[in-house]
Amino acid sequence: MNGGTAIQVRGLRMTYHVRGGPGDERTVEAVRGIDLEVPAGEVFALLGPNGAGKTTTVEILEGFRRRTGGEVSVLGFDPASGERRMKEQIGIVLQSTGIDPYLTVAETIELYRGYYPSPRPLDEVIEVVGLQEKRGARVIRLSGGQQRRLDVAIALAGDPELLFLDEPTTGFDPSARRNAWEVVKNLESLGKTVFLTTHYMDEAQYLARQVAIISAGEIVAEGPPGTLAGRDTAATKIRFRLPEGSELPSLAGAAVQAGDGQVELTTEDPTRTLYEATRWAVEQGITLEGLEVTRPSLEDVYLELTKGSEPQA
Ligand SMILES: Nc1ncnc2c1ncn2[C@@H]1O[C@H](COP(=O)(O)OP(=O)(O)OP(=O)(O)O)[C@@H](O)[C@H]1O
Ligand SMILES: [Mg+2]
Same domain, 159 and 208: yes
Gyration radius (Cα) of the chain, Å: 24
Mutate to test the pocket of ligand 1, among 54, 67, 96 (most ligand atoms within 8 A of CB): 54
CB 221 within 8 A of CB 305: yes
Helix residue ranges, H only, the chain: 54-62, 84-89, 105-113, 122-128, 144-156, 174-189, 201-207, 270-284, 298-305
Residue 45 has pLDDT above 90, yes or no: yes
Same domain, 134 and 209: yes
Residue 30 Cβ inside 6 Å of ligand 1? The answer reads yes
Residue 312 has pLDDT above 50, yes or no: no
Same domain, 15 and 118: yes
Same domain, 248 and 208: no
- For residues 67-79, average pLDDT: 96
CB 25 within 8 A of CB 16: no
The structural domain count of the chain equals: 2
Residue 310, pLDDT score:
55
Output the CA–CA distances (angstroms, integers) from residue 302 to 37, 239, 256, in the order listed. Answer: 20, 22, 25
Residue 298, pLDDT score:
73
Domain extent for 287: 236-294
Mutate to test the pocket of ligand 1, among 12, 16, 31, 67 (most ligand atoms within 8 A of CB): 16
Residue 309, pLDDT score:
65
- CA–centroid distance, 30 to ligand 1, in Å, is 7
Each residue's pLDDT tens digit, 124-144 = 999 888 899 999 999 999 988
Same domain, 91 and 169: yes
Residue 307, pLDDT score:
78
Residue 258 Cβ inside 6 Å of ligand 1? The answer reads no
Q: What is the CATH number of the domain that holds 183?
A: 3.40.50.300
- For residues 233-258, average pLDDT: 82
Residue 18 Cβ inside 6 Å of ligand 1? The answer reads yes
Each residue's pLDDT tens digit, 23-40 = 888 899 999 999 999 999
Type of residue found at 66: R
Same domain, 154 and 245: no
Residue 313 has pLDDT above 70, yes or no: no
Output the CA–CA distances (angstroms, integers) from residue 226 to 2, 208, 304, in the order listed. Answer: 22, 10, 16
**Percent of the chain at pLDDT above 70?**
94
Each residue's pLDDT tens digit, 287-299 = 999 999 988 777 7
- CA–centroid distance, 40 to ligand 2, in Å, is 23
In terms of DSSP bridges, do strands 236-241 and 262-267 run parallel, antiparallel, or are they unpaired?
Answer: antiparallel
Give the Cα separation of 170 and 172 in Å (integer): 6
Same domain, 38 and 135: yes
Residue 1, pLDDT score:
45
Give the Cα separation of 199 and 197 in Å (integer): 7
**Residue owning the nearest CA to atom 26 of ligand 1:** 50
Q: Does 220 fall in a domain?
A: yes
Query: In this structure, which ligand is nearest to the CA of 310?
Result: 1
Q: Does 313 fall in a domain?
A: no
The 3-state DSSP class for residue 22 equals: coil
